[in-house]
Chain A
Amino acid sequence: MYLVVIALLAAYPGFYHLLTQSGLSSETVALLPRMETMVAVLYFALFAMSFDFISGYTGYLSFGHAAFYGTGAYTVLLIANGKVPLLGAETPFVAALLVGAVLATLLAVGIGLVSFRLTGVYFAMITLGFAQVLYVFVRDWDYVSTNPRDGIALSGGRGFELGVPFVDQLTVKLGTLTGDTLTLLGHTLGTTTVSFYAVGLVVLLCYLAMQRIVHSPFGRVMIAIRENEERAEAIGYDTFRYKLGAFAISGFFGGVGGGLLAGFKRSVTPETGFYFLTSGDALLASIIGGFGTLAGPLWGHLFDESVREFLSKQGQGGGLLPYLESTLSEGFLATELYGGLTVEGFITAALNGHASLYVGIVFVLFVLYVPDGLVGTVRDRLGGPVADRLPERLWGDR
């Protein structure tokens, strides 16, 4: 079943490509997320998963989780710009990614040592406090770049290479502008598509690792902490250590997610890295997808991004607005609604750049009516994890 999901995701670029070439191209561009968005969905979903790993499974809302994401991204870019002692600018991307993730882990241990003395709202707030301190600090730290408020960008027109260091055949360049194209069976895959697969592979590995941990005895203790911490303690588990361990693991994968962001975008700002609304986005993804389900954040973020892109114009991308503008007739667009406001003016005002309005509405509806999220609800209906139940439903219990 996992393979089916992976295959579906893996087939997306081809599917998207075919549709854009076909007669339905304008509808496709309007409805489906672009390839750039899909890459962003992948690495952000990894971050959201790491958020869900700690928040959904142990019940400790890590509201400063963006700190780990930012640490990963900043470390990768600082190393690549030669700003980190001992590690030159030529350090392979994978090594930098690991260094960033390890730093994020250490940060998580540091924050966790202090914060896990608290519970509930207080825990959420102290982690938020730490992340905001880092956010303001990074925003004004002029060592990272000449204008720290704009974050850092990779100097020069270089791109990052993801793969096995020093083995050319197993390495691809990332990025829309700097990436590699691949020719496979007579088809040329675009730079973004190649990045999609490369990033997707890393995200998949991380997902499998987290999945393994969640289903291990360690993971059961995490759930025990969520359900009844006092009882877990009474049984004899040193819950503090388990929480700290889970937080460190979560920090590690959050750092990997941030590193991938840096690898694909080649730049990061304090707002995309450390700001508390970045943690908020991970929260949105987890709730929409299903809190306490590891795959949930991926679906949640995919859903979230699709809504955003469909209902608001972003860059040259698709969405409803350009589609309506090209399909509706001139006369209808110029019709006056009320006090000089034309239909065109209205849809432009409503559909241009106001994504968070619709995301907010979707989110509120989810909290009210679908509290278990997409994955959680499907599991409820099927009576167990989708991977176990769906084949049984389809082919009978074998």
Chain B
Amino acid sequence: MTTVLDAAMALLLQTGFVDGLIEFVQPDVLVEVVVRGLAKSAIYIMIAAGLTLIFGLLGVLNFAHGALTMIGAYLGGVVMVLTVGSGTGPWARLALFFVAMAVVFGLLAALGGSIEIALIRPLYDRAPIYQILLTFGVTLILEELVRIVVQFYGLQPIAEWQEALGTIPVFLDTSHSLGPISVRGLALFEILLGVLTVAAIWGFLTHTRYGLFIRAGSEDSEMAEALGIDVRRVFTVVFALGAGIAGIAGTLLMWDQVWGASVPLAADALLPAFVVVIIGGLGTFRGTVVGGLIVGLVDATTTWWFQNVVVTWTWLPEVAIFLILVVALIVRPQGIYGVEEVGGH
């Protein structure tokens, strides 16, 4: 037994695991990783929030969510590139960013609403799988349309849109030192925006009349209808809202070098959003927030480990979030806050 332990110990020492662990628990390293993790969490939560709202009420797993996020990124980029010149100051750029966000939210909410009315509404009385399939088809169409438009304007659909990346204000682009650590301004901005989004959605759900309708509809849509709520209209509004939130997330991603506006962003955003929503439990907003935090922190940790300790395992950070998904589903199949029946047969 001891020999096995010794061998394991030797192996860990050899791979630099112990040294890595010692370095990892240094306060400044740990705080830096946590801040990065929170920034990633904020992004994941923002991408997944719309998905979970839609699933919670409509029971539709929206495969088009990634495509909507991607369209949001491009539209946000269009607004920014058209309005921002080289002489625009950083604060003006920030203000324009919020304008872009509002514009994108409106446009995507309109797009989402029309998709719901035209395509998904005829399918509610069919098996749930058909709604999933339909949104999958919508994804193919949207992605290809964007590709055509982007190519028409002479941009590379696969690569990130550099011009849009360039509209970022200086103080978000540079690193700031906060006590012992240095953080990129954008990371802090992402955390701030994430908190604001979560607060806004939570407030909307719990403190407005419409939020009450949505919660009632999620609980029991037939009962809500019997009580005089126009559930069909609530469905449309929620789908539009979900699409709009996807657009807001997309607008933010347009500034982030790791993501950037590009056509493959659709799949890159969709898969983590699924993971977050599933881990948290389908259709619960609280679960999505917690799921996003877990995924973001684990992602930041594995990325740090890969960069500093186990350099040979280049696939580790990319695999990490799917490993979380698999492990989480094995340990708790219905998600952290999920209810057993939701999303099953």
A residues near B (Cβ < 8 Å) are 59, 61, 114, 117-122, 125-126, 128-130, 132-133, 136-137, 139-141, 229, 276-277, 280, 283, 287, 349-350, 354, 356-357, 359-361, 363-364, 367-368, 371
Contacts and interface: CB of A to CB of B under 8 A. Distances in A.
Given A139-B315, A349-B148, A360-B137, 16 more contacts: A117-B333, A120-B344, A125-B278, A126-B326, A129-B326, A136-B318, A136-B322, A140-B318, A141-B315, A276-B271, A283-B136, A354-B147, A357-B141, A359-B140, A360-B140, A361-B141
Contacts of A357: 140-141, 144-145, 148
Contact of A140 (B129, B271, B274, B314): B314
Nearest to B133: A367
Contacts of B319: 132-133, 136-137
Interface of chain A: mostly helix, strand, loop or mixed: helix
Given A122-B343, A354-B147, A371-B130, A129 B329 contact: yes
B172 interface: no
Given A114-B326, A280-B136, A367 B130 contact: yes
Contacts of A360: 137-141, 144
A141 B319 CA distance: 13
A118 B315 CA distance: 27
Interface in B289-340: 314-315, 318-319, 322-323, 325-326, 329-330, 333-334
Classify chain B: how many residues form its interface, as a range: 35 or more
Contact of B275 (A129, A139, A140): A129
A193 B136 CA distance: 34
A371 B282 CA distance: 26
Contacts of A350: 148
Main secondary structure of the interface of B (DSSP, over half): helix
Interface stretch (B73-81, B119-127, B237-245): B119-127
A120 B344 CA distance: 4
22 contacts: A118-B333, A122-B282, A125-B278, A129-B322, A129-B325, A129-B326, A133-B326, A136-B319, A140-B318, A276-B267, A357-B144, A359-B140, A360-B138, A360-B139, A361-B137, A363-B133, A363-B140, A364-B119, A367-B133, A367-B134, A368-B122, A368-B134
Nearest to B338: A122
Contacts of A276: 267, 271
Interface in B130-164: 130, 132-134, 136-141, 143-145, 147-148, 151-152
B321 to A, nearest CB: 9
A357 B67 CA distance: 13
B345 interface: yes
Contacts of A229: 345
B258 to A, nearest CB: 16
